[in-house]
Structures are given as structure tokens and as C-alpha cells.
């Protein structure tokens, strides 16, 4: 079993009727229902729970963490961010979605600002699978078309990715590296762009397929226990 925790700040859905109409049970539960399938054991956690729902115990029992945050980035406590970072280094997978590009955890793991250009007019987005043999695009086809999404445009201030899996085109003319991978320590990281809270993106079958694939890809890192620090020599040294 792959143990997945879906973390959502869960503020917009409680504060806006318009957004609650799209995600009545919150983005975290929409995602949980959308990716539920063989081999996945799914839990959720939200900002306002004690320790943001990300206790030592919860993270120890998480193989892959999915992160959705936006307006509450600065309310996430640094100690919890450190805890998540430590688990990534130990091998926990992390999938950062949409506005998570500005989350503390993503910026900490990237070492850059995570800044980008944006525009919210509900234009069309087409995500091209530019790495067709990558496990994250399995079963998705050559592209995903989203009729209405927020635009994110280059330049995206992130380190050069390990792999670029999707590149988005927007009706307004911009392009964006919308599916990119990293490794930090033993942990695999996938950033996936779409998922603005006012659009039903997390009900799109292809989007859910990508996230489900990414969970399985990130969990396949197969982390092992490594001992660091002072060690005796293996050979006799004079
Ligand atoms: Zn957004």
C-alpha cells in the first residue's frame, strides 16, 4: 500500500460560496475521491488542524504528501515546514500543486523564489506531454486541454528541473513548465501547475490520472536507511 496524505489549507472553500460550489467538501476531498484506487491508502490534513494535521506520526506514516496552499502560505509554521522537508530528504514523495509554487515548503526545497507571471481570466490551457515515456504521463495521451484555467507564465523561478514532463500553452500567448520533477535527498518531488480553486480542474479525468501516476512515481523512490557521520576506515590505514 502507498500511504498518501493530501494536505489542503482549506480556506477558500470555507470563505467563498462560489468556490464552495465547485469544491463543496474541499479540494482535499475532491482529490481523495478522484485518485482513490488500487494500492492507495488516503488521508487528508488541513491548515487549521493542530500542527496543520502534519504531526510526526502522520508524516512518518506518509509515503507521498500532496500539497495545495494559496492564501495561507505564511500561516504554515516553520517547524512544520522543517518537519516536512526532513521527511522529503528521508524519501517521502511530495507533489506540489498549482499555487503551492509559493508555499514555504516548495521554496525551501527549491532554494528560489518560485515566482511566476499570472492572470485570472479563465482562458484555455493546453498541457503538452513533452516526456511521453515518463510514468507520470502514462495513459494521459499527447495533451490535456482545460477550457478555463488561471494562467501561469514564464519565467518560473525554479532550479533547472530534473525532468520536464509537461509544458503548458495558454490562449493569451504564454507558455509554462507545468509538470516538472526534482529530487531532494532521497525524496522525489513533482510540481504540477493546474488547479485554480474557482475551476473544476480536480474533476478532470486526465488531471487526476497525472496526480495518481505522480503518487505512484514518487512512492517508487524506494528510500533506504543511510548512516551519516564519523566512521572507522574499511581498510587498515597507516
Ligand atoms: Zn490560482
Q: Which residues contact 106 (CB under 8 A, 6 or more apart)?
A: 67, 96, 100, 114, 191
- CA 83 to ligand 1 center in whole angstroms: 26
- CA 117 to ligand 1 center in whole angstroms: 11
Instruction: Convert the pLDDT of each residue in 94-126 to its tens digit.
Output: 999 999 999 999 999 999 999 999 999 999 999
- CA 39 to ligand 1 center in whole angstroms: 30
- CA 98 to ligand 1 center in whole angstroms: 6
Residues 62, 37 contacting (CB under 8 angstroms): no
User: What cell numbers appear for 54 in the block?
Assistant: 502534519
Question: What local confidence, expressed as pLDDT, does residue 222 receive?
Answer: 84
Sites in the chain below the pLDDT cut of 50 = none
- CA 93 to ligand 1 center in whole angstroms: 23
Instruction: Convert the pLDDT of each residue in 138-167 to its tens digit.
Output: 999 999 999 999 999 999 999 999 999 999
Domain span at residue 74 reads: 2-112+180-219
- CA 64 to ligand 1 center in whole angstroms: 23
pTM: 0.97
84 within some domain: yes
Residues 78, 104 contacting (CB under 8 angstroms): yes
- CA 125 to ligand 1 center in whole angstroms: 13
- CA 210 to ligand 1 center in whole angstroms: 18
Rounded Cα gap, residues 122 and 146, in angstroms? 10
132 within some domain: no
105 within some domain: yes
Longest CA–CA separation in the chain, Å:
74
Give the number of domains in the chain. 1
58 within some domain: yes
- CA 150 to ligand 1 center in whole angstroms: 6
- CA 99 to ligand 1 center in whole angstroms: 5
228 within some domain: no
- CA 56 to ligand 1 center in whole angstroms: 29
- CA 149 to ligand 1 center in whole angstroms: 8
- CA 195 to ligand 1 center in whole angstroms: 7
Q: If you search the block for the grid coordinates 480556506, which residue do you land on? A: 11
169 within some domain: no
Question: What local confidence, expressed as pLDDT, does residue 71 receive?
Answer: 98
Task: Encode the chain in three state secondary structure.
Answer: CEEEEEEECCCHHHHCHHHHHHCCCHHHHHHHHHHCCCCEEEEEEECCCHHHHCCHHHHHCCCEEEEECCCCHHHCCHHHHHHHHHHHHHCCEEEEEHHHHHCHHHHHHHCCCCCCEEEEEEEEEEEEECCCCCHHHCCCCCEEEEEEEEEEECCCCCCCCCEEEEEEEECCCCEEEEEEEEEECCEEEEEECCCCCCCCHHHCHHHHHHHHHHHHHHHCCCCCCCCCCCCCCCCCCC
62 within some domain: yes
- CA 233 to ligand 1 center in whole angstroms: 53
108 within some domain: yes
- CA 197 to ligand 1 center in whole angstroms: 6
Rounded Cα gap, residues 202 and 30, in angstroms? 7
Q: What is the CATH number of the domain that holds 58?
A: 3.40.50.880
- CA 33 to ligand 1 center in whole angstroms: 21
Amino acid at each position: 500500500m502507498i500511504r498518501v496524505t493530501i494536505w489542503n489549507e482549506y480556506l477558500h472553500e470555507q470563505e467563498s460560496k462560489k468556490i464552495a460550489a465547485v469544491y463543496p467538501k474541499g479540494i482535499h476531498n475532491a482529490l481523495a475521491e478522484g485518485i482513490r484506487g488500487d494500492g492507495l491508502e488516503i488521508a487528508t490534513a488541513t491548515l487549521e488542524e493542530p500542527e496543520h494535521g502534519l504531526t510526526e506520526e502522520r508524516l512518518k506514516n506518509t509515503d507521498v504528501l500532496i500539497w495545495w496552499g494559496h492564501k495561507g502560505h505564511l500561516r504554515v509554521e516553520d517547524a512544520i515546514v522543517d518537519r516536512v522537508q526532513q521527511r522529503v530528504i528521508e524519501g517521502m514523495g511530495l507533489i506540489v500543486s498549482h499555487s503551492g509554487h509559493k508555499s514555504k515548503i516548495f521554496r525551501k526545497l527549491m532554494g528560489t523564489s518560485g515566482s511566476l507571471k499570472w492572470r485570472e481570466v479563465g482562458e484555455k490551457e493546453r498541457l503538452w506531454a513533452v516526456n511521453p515515456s515518463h510514468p507520470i504521463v502514462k495513459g494521459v495521451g499527447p495533451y490535456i486541454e482545460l477550457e478555463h484555467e488561471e494562467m501561469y507564465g514564464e519565467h518560473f523561478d525554479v532550479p533547472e528541473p530534473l525532468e520536464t514532463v509537461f509544458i503548458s500553452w495558454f490562449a493569451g500567448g504564454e507558455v509554462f513548465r507545468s509538470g516538472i520533477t526534482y529530487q531532494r535527498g532521497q525524496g522525489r518531488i513533482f510540481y504540477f501547475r493546474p488547479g485554480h480553486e474557482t475551476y473544476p480542474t480536480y474533476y478532470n479525468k486526465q488531471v487526476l490520472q497525472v496526480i495518481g501516476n505522480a503518487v505512484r512515481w514518487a512512492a517508487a523512490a524506494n528510500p533506504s536507511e543511510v548512516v551519516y557521520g564519523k566512521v572507522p576506515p574499511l581498510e587498515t590505514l597507516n
